Chains A and B, each alone.
Chain A
Amino acid sequence: MSRNRILATCIVGWAALFLTGPVLAQSGPTAPPSEPMVFATEEQEASYQQLVRELRCTVCQNQNLIESNAPLAADLRRQISVMIKDGAQTDEVVEYMVARYGDFVLFRPPKNATTYLLWYGPGALMIIGLTLLGLILWRRRSQVTTDPLSVEEQQRLRRLLDDDEKGSS
């Protein structure tokens, strides 16, 4: 194993760690809610569309408000649209929801003492894993000696190879 290959392994790992983050942000279905929503401005429309994707439906817990068909999700969508039309900011709506349903409604939970492990745990695990992998590969490489063979060793090698050729033919 050459030094270059060890470096390449580590670089690919680190690149994977940092490049996959931003890709996830824009994913998610675009199905329209059952009732059409009309907003006065594009900003209002945008914050509505953002909120219904970032807030969890507490009835069907693995769906956000726009994916869910639950009656409560429809009520919450309506409530959010009403608040936005009344000029509420995104964080005001989020506050409103958290006050009633708790941090659980946020698909992006706040960073505090109880969620540090959740937020940074996977990254920390990956860093530990890659570092360990690097260390192990490095140590294995340093165990292989590259000193030239001594005269006796060369003779022994020749003997072994000769035996092998005789054996196989």
Chain B
Amino acid sequence: MKLRFVLPLVAFFALVGLLWVGLSLDPRALPSPLIGREAPSFDLPELRDPETRFTSAEMLGKPALFNVWASWCVTCRQEHPMLAELRRSGVPVYGLNYKDTRSDALRFLARFGDPYDAIGFDESGMVGIDWGVYATPETFLMDRHGMIRFKHIGMITPDIIEQKILPLYRQLEMES
């Protein structure tokens, strides 16, 4: 008889617990199927120098950060100083200028600084699709063999640099 009253109560609190956990999950943070896989290759014109090409092969040999950005993306503007910070810490920072115009992107870099070693100009967004980009900014960390080891969607914060990117970068540097 007692079970009859306790059971619905237990079920109710279990449901509350479930919903509570659900509230704290971010539905926009999708697990990338690319983690642990080889980075998709590309061959794009360089943003700052249209005569030259920037290919994915250039990022091999050292662990590297690959940042997808656009001048129309407000969060990218907020994130921008973090990239310079990473560059100062010795991390090679490459960029993918995603669905942008060259003049807007160059104006963005002139105004907010240019921390990139090389930037691919992906006007059509096709390389972005290959990389599974859906919400700029997105940032990938690759090892020296071009395997994607980490992906962050949204703005990089000092916390993420300290707790995720830099420790993983140091670890990848050690790996042969």
> Judging by beta carbons under 8 Å apart, are B99 and A71 in contact?
yes
Q: How far is B131's CA from A77's CA once the two chains are assembled, in angstroms?
A: 17
Answer yes or no: A76 CB below 8 A from chain B CBs: yes
Given contacts A59-B134, A100-B132, contact A72 B30 (CB under 8 A): no
Residue B28 interfacial (CB < 8 Å): yes
Using CB atoms, name the residue of chain B closest to A76.
B129
How many residue pairs bridge A and B at CB < 8 Å? 41
State which of A75, A99, A100, A102 has its C-beta within 8 Å of the C-beta of B125. A75
Which residues of B, 131-154, contact A by the 8 Å Cβ criterion? 131-135
Chain A stretch 52-80: residues in CB contact (< 8 A) with chain B: 58-59, 61, 71-72, 75-76, 79
A101 engages B125 (CB within 8 Å): no
A75–B30 touching, CB < 8 Å: no
A100 touches B130 (CB 8 A): yes
Mark each residue of chain A from 69 to 112: 1 if its CB lies under 8 Å from any CB of chain B, else 0: 00110011001000000000000000000111111100000000
The answer to whether A102 touches B27, judged by C-beta atoms less than 8 angstroms apart, is: no
Tell whether, in the assembled complex, residue B132 and residue A101 are in contact, meaning their CB atoms are under 8 Å apart: yes
- The chain B residue sitting closest to A79, CB to CB, is B129
Contact call A99/B33, Cβ cutoff below 8 A: yes
Mostly, the B contact residues are: loop
Are B28 and A100 closer than 8 Å at their CB atoms?
no
Determine if A71 and B125 form an interchain contact, defined as CB atoms under 8 angstroms apart.
yes
Q: Which residues of B contact A101 (CB under 8 A)?
A: 30, 33, 132, 134
CA of A20 to CA of B150 in the docked complex: distance in angstroms?
A: 43
B126 interface hit (Cβ, 8 Å): yes
B19 to chain A, nearest CB (A): 16
Chain B residue numbers with a CB within 8 Å of A104 are 30-31
A59 close to B33 (CB less than 8 A): no
State in angstroms the CA–CA spacing of A76 and B126 once bound together: 9
Report the nearest A residue to B99, measured CB to CB. Answer: A71
A71 to B131, CA, bound (A): 16
Closest A residue to B28 using CB positions? A61
Whether, in the assembled complex, B34 has its beta carbon less than 8 Å from a beta carbon of chain A, the answer is yes
Are B134 and A79 in touch, CB under 8 angstroms? no
Please report the C-alpha to C-alpha distance between residue A102 and residue B126 in the assembled complex, in whole angstroms.
17
- One digit per residue, 1 when the CB lies within 8 angstroms of any chain A CB and 0 when it does not, for chain B 22-60 equals 000001101111100000000000000000000000000
Partner of B134, one of A58, A99, A103: A58
Give the chain B neighbours of A71 by CB distance below 8 A.
99, 125
Q: In the complex, what distance in Å separates the CA atom of A130 from the CA atom of B30?
A: 36
What are 7 A-B pairs with beta-carbon distances under 8 A?
A72-B134, A76-B129, A79-B129, A100-B129, A100-B131, A101-B134, A103-B33
